[in-house]
Every structure is written in C-alpha cells, then in structure tokens.
C-alpha cells in the first residue's frame, strides 16, 4: 500500500485512481473551510448529512487525513454506531409500535450517548467511540478509546441535522409500508416526537453542517443495494444480510424523513454538495469557492 495517505485511502476504499481529482476539487476545499472555522472554534463539531450510500463515511475518512495535514486531529462519530441493539428495539416494538424493531428512524438510536461523546470532546475528556455491527444488527463490544484532545468531531449520519416535521405533514402515508403497517400514524408521530427531544439537543451542538445531497429517493435505494452487495462480498456468512425485496422494504422506513430533508435541509446547511448518480459532487459549492486561495488546492 502506498505511503501517500490519499492514495492509501483510495486503495483501501476500492475507489478508482481518478478519485484523487474529487479529493483535490471538493474535499480539499471543504477541509480548508473546516480548518478556518476550527481556527475560531475548537473543538469544532461538524455535522455530515447524507442519505444512505451517499459517501459520508468515505468523505469523513478523507477529511481526517486532510485535516491532519493541517495539524488538526479529527475523529468521526457515525450516528449508525448509536443504534440500539435488537433487544432494546424489540422492547420499543412491544411497548410503542412494531416498526421500531427495525433500526433506522429516530427512536432507534441512543442520542444521549452521542450527546455525552460531544460533551467529552468539548471538555477535552477521554471517551469511547461505539461501533455498531450491521452484519449482526448489534452494537459491537469493540469500542475505540479516544484519548487526548480532539480538534474536530465529524458527526455523520443519514438524519444528522434533521428537524421534526409539522404535525399536518404526518397525516398521509408516504409509501406502502406506512399505509399498511402504520395506518394510524403512531410510528411516524412518535419518531417525530423523538426528533423534537434528544435528537434536537444532539444536532443543536453542531457548529457547521455539510450535506451530501442525492438527486432523489430512488437513488437512495440503488445506493443501498450496492452497499448490501459490498457487505455480502466482505462477510458472506453474516446472519442479517438482506435480499433486494428486503432492502426495498427496509428503505421505506427512511423514505419519509429522507424526502423531508431533501427539501428542508439545503437552505439551512453551511455547505451543500449536489451529487451525481456516481455519488461524485457535480460542482464546488459557492460557499466553498468564494475566497479559496489557489495554494489551498493540491497540484
């Protein structure tokens, strides 16, 4: 593997070599903008929002390296790693609504744990980064201990920065899953209440919000199918792999809030990357292009 950290990441993530251009033209300017914000506010909490398969974890991996080159220590916390395990979700399914057995919507995470981690970052304390194993659908015991100060916390996730919907927006189902299995609107209403609670507290700690904006929800389904193919190739014996029909049903759990965020979040985000069908940004956001010096970009 190359000693060049960018080349090493490209190789590790199975990306084509031309992806270096994406790094130079898009992720480098974003890292510069984050570094400039961190010069005024440290530790800096950066939210990275994006639908499933939009490339959030890949972006965060590159940002960690690019910020390290600027003498800034960045650590990534994925909201997926805050998911409740199957037993806890089963209790929610029994006591609140059966659809809470499936991880995904607000209510199936432990946002209080995320708040505690952000608090530890802000106070300079050591903390454990949790890990969720999607292959087993359980939180892993292999948490990562983070010691010493962190300059930038990258909080990434599909619903990071999401605001609750208005009550009238909850009345009509958005897909067959809601029509058949949440006809009375209990599941979506309770999830919306959670968005008003600890999730709002967690997202309220974000200093800078970045969105990777896909063009449609149909793209989300296609990306999720690709993710499952990669998981199956890497771990063919994992017990909770899904076929295409299961994935399409699974994605319906996310559809309401994904469509809501595609409309609500772009005007509020500090940086919005419009993505093409290959999950590559179509252009450099104006909020990044303004004032960037040529020396900030690699040759």
> Could you say which residues of the chain have pLDDT below 70?
1-2, 228, 230-235, 238-241, 290-299
CA–CA distance, 223 with 280 (Å, rounded to integer): 13
Q: What range does the domain containing 261 cover?
A: 43-275
Q: Please tell me the predicted confidence (pLDDT) of residue 141.
A: 85
The set of residues, in sequence order, having a beta carbon less than 8 Å from that of 118 and lying 6+ positions away, is 45, 153, 155, 202, 205
Q: Which two tokens stand for residue 247?
A: 């994935």
Entry pTM: 0.90
CATH of the domain at 160: 3.40.50.300
Q: Using alpha carbons, select from 214, 189, 197, 209 the residue that is nearest to residue 280.
A: 214
- For residue 1, tell me if it sits in a domain: no
- For residue 170, tell me if it sits in a domain: yes
- For residue 4, tell me if it sits in a domain: no
Q: Using alpha carbons, select from 85, 83, 58, 37 the residue that is nearest to residue 206.
A: 37
- For residue 29, tell me if it sits in a domain: no
- For residue 246, tell me if it sits in a domain: yes
- For residue 3, tell me if it sits in a domain: no
Q: How is 177-245 classified by DSSP, letter by letter?
A: HHHHH-TT-HHHHHHHHHHHTHHHHHHTT-SEEEEEE-S-HHHHHHHHHHHHHHHHHH-TT-TT---HH
Q: Please tell me the predicted confidence (pLDDT) of residue 269.
A: 97
Residue 111 belongs to what H/E stretch? helix 111-123
Secondary structure of residue 30 in the 3-state scheme = helix
- For residue 201, tell me if it sits in a domain: yes
Q: Please tell me the predicted confidence (pLDDT) of residue 290.
A: 66
Q: Please tell me the predicted confidence (pLDDT) of residue 17.
A: 87
- For residue 80, tell me if it sits in a domain: yes
Residue 279 phi/psi, 5-degree rounding, is 65, 20
Rg (CA), the chain: 19
Q: How many domains does the chain have?
A: 1
Q: Please tell me the predicted confidence (pLDDT) of residue 296.
A: 42
Q: Please tell me the predicted confidence (pLDDT) of residue 231.
A: 66
Q: Please tell me the predicted confidence (pLDDT) of residue 299.
A: 28
Could you identify the residue written with the tokens 């690709």? Answer: 226
């Amino acid at each position: 593997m190359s000693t060049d950290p960018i080349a090493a990441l490209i190789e590790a993530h199975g990306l084509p070599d031309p992806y270096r251009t994406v790094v130079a033209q898009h992720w480098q300017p974003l890292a510069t903008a984050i570094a400039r914000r961190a010069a005024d506010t440290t530790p800096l909490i950066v939210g990275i929002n994006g639908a499933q398969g939009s490339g959030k974890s890949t972006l965060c991996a590159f940002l960690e390296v690019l910020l390290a080159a600027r003498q800034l220590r960045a650590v990534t916390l994925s909201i997926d790693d805050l998911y409740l395990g199957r037993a806890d979700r089963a209790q929610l399914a029994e006591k609140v609504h059966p659809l809470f057995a499936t991880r995904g919507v607000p209510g199936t995470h432990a946002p209080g744990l995320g708040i505690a981690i952000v608090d530890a970052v802000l106070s300079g304390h050591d903390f454990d980064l949790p890990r969720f194993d999607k292959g087993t659908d359980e939180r892993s015991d292999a948490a990562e201990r983070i010691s010493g100060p962190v300059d930038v916390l990258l909080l990434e996730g599909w619903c990071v920065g999401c605001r609750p919907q208005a009550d009238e927006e909850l009345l009509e189902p958005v897909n067959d899953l809601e029509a058949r299995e949440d006809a009375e609107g209990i599941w979506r209403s309770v999830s919306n209440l959670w968005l008003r609670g600890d999730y709002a507290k967690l997202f309220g700690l974000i200093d800078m919000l970045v969105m990777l904006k896909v063009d449609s929800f149909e793209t989300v389904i296609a990306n999720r199918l690709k993710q499952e193919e990669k998981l199956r190739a890497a771990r063919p014996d994992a017990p909770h792999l899904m076929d295409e029909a299961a994935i399409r049903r699974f994605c319906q759990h996310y559809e309401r809030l994904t469509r809501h965020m595609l409309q609500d979040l772009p005007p509020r985000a500090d940086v919005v990357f419009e993505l093409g069908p290959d999950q590559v940004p179509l252009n450099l956001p104006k909020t990044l292009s303004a004032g960037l010096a040529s020396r900030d970009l690699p040759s």
